[in-house]
Amino acid sequence: MARVFSGIKPTGSVHLGNLLGALRHWVAMQDEHQAVYCVVDLHALTVPHDPDELRRATRSLAQMLVAVGIDPERSTLFVQGHLTEHTECAWVMECTSAFGELRRMTQFKDKSDGSDFVSGGLFTYPALQAADILLYDTDQVPVGEDQRQHIELARDIAVRFNGRYGDTFVVPEAVIPPAGARVMDLQYPEIKMSKSDGGEQGAILLLDDPAMIAKKFKRAVTDSETEVRFDPTSKPGVSNLLSILGAATGQSPATAAVGIERYGDLKAATAEAVISLLRPIQDRYHELAADPAETDRLLAMGADKARSIASPTLDRVRDNLGLLSR
Ligand code: AMP
Ligand code: TRP
């Protein structure tokens, strides 16, 4: 079975874009792959953060991943900071990547622009990400389009390392869902839904209650026409609603449009579909959140499983580099 690895940062709240664009693919991939999923808390340290909030968000994100359907028994679900192998391997990745390569990463440019404190970690972020991936002999990395460049870098590092020191790493591939998987902001349908960019009204958070979800869809921006039709270029708002309705009900956006005549009905149908999609996830989340000790037990088990893969890889890396064995 091919191995998949992916990671998500414990910053902000998980939203519908994360679910439809990433997490539900993670869930589906568990059936035919050996899946390893990681809450990347160390990556959250690259920008200023609040320690209590990080603790809360890390556990909460792990609970949300289980709630959406990641099975900690069948797959490996763990927290990056529980394994020293990641930071140790990250140093090796830094020494195998070129300064110029890291400087070309667009995420670094975007995130450092205009910040008054740019950490060294923000610059070397993709080297840690490469370590995450390569430690697990990963074949496929399911991520959004924005991560393509980082996966390319991980590939380049793997190839370079193998060339210099002998066959050590599996060269991974990015798996990026089709463009339709991008969920757009409900208020600004030309930008993607996110926890920070669009503002509170434009994003459906997975923990929003039904009244809040209904309200956000009711206020969603459409256009000055009246026709319900899937056409992302000229009708971005309406098309986004159709994409969401389709994704939530397992249909194409065009099929989802059939029989809906008015914008008000489209908004109501989409809200209802999303409320039904999220209800079982929220129920499960609240159950898990009531028992943090159980989450910690699952994460400790996940860390053990992760270590049993990462540690032999790191031994191989050390040996091939010429580091004395310990
Ligand atoms: P982020 O929230 O940026 O840390 O992203 C976590 C995962 O969700 C990544 O794989 C992203 O590509 C994906 N993602 C984030 N926002 C969206 C969106 N609006 N539509 C689809 N996928 C998204
Ligand atoms: N950088 C990714 C993001 O911002 C998160 C991430 C960290 C990741 N390590 C990873 C994704 C390894 C895939 C594989 O979304």
Place of tokens 């622009």: 113
Q: What is the pLDDT of residues 13-55, one digit of tens each?
A: 999 999 998 999 999 999 999 999 999 999 999 999 999 999 9
pLDDT of residue 36: 98
Ranges of CATH 1.10.240.10 domains, the chain: 195-286
18, 151, 204: which to mutate for ligand 1, most atoms within 8 A of CB?
18
Name the closest-CA residue to atom 9, ligand 2. Answer: 129
Q: Are 158 and 170 in contact (CB under 8 A)?
A: yes
C-alpha R_g of the chain:
21
pLDDT single digits (tens) 55-70 = 999 999 999 999 999 9
pLDDT in tens, 75-91: 999 999 999 999 999 99
How many whole angstroms separate alpha carbon 47 and alpha carbon 68?
A: 27
Confidence check: pLDDT of 243 > 80 = yes
Q: Given CATH 1.10.240.10, say whether it is the number of domain 195-286.
A: yes
pLDDT higher than threshold 60 for residue 217: yes
- Check if the beta carbon of residue 274 is closer than 8 Å to that of residue 213: yes
Pocket test for ligand 2, best of 150, 151, 155, 194 (most atoms within 8 A of CB): 150
211 CA from centroid of ligand 1 (Å): 24
Which ligand is the nearest neighbour of the Cα of 39?
2
Stretch(es) of the chain classified as CATH 3.40.50.620 = 3-180+292-321
Q: What is the pLDDT of residues 297-317, one digit of tens each?
A: 999 999 999 999 999 999 999
pLDDT in tens, 101-144: 999 999 999 999 999 999 999 999 999 999 999 999 999 999 98
pLDDT of residue 200: 83
Q: Which residues pair with 7 in a beta bridge?
A: 38
CATH topology of domain 3-180+292-321: Rossmann fold (3.40.50)
* Residue having the nearest C-alpha atom to atom 13 of ligand 2: 6
Separation of 95 CA from ligand 2 center, angstroms?
20
pTM of the prediction?
0.95
Q: Is-catalytic flag, 192?
A: yes
**Of ligand 1's atoms, which has the minimum distance to the CA of residue 18?**
8
Our measurement of the distance from residue 50's CA atom to the centroid of its chain's CA atoms, rounded to an integer in Å, reads 21
The answer to whether 111 is a known catalytic residue is yes
Q: Is the pLDDT of residue 215 over 70?
A: yes
Predicted local distance difference test score (pLDDT) of residue 182? 86
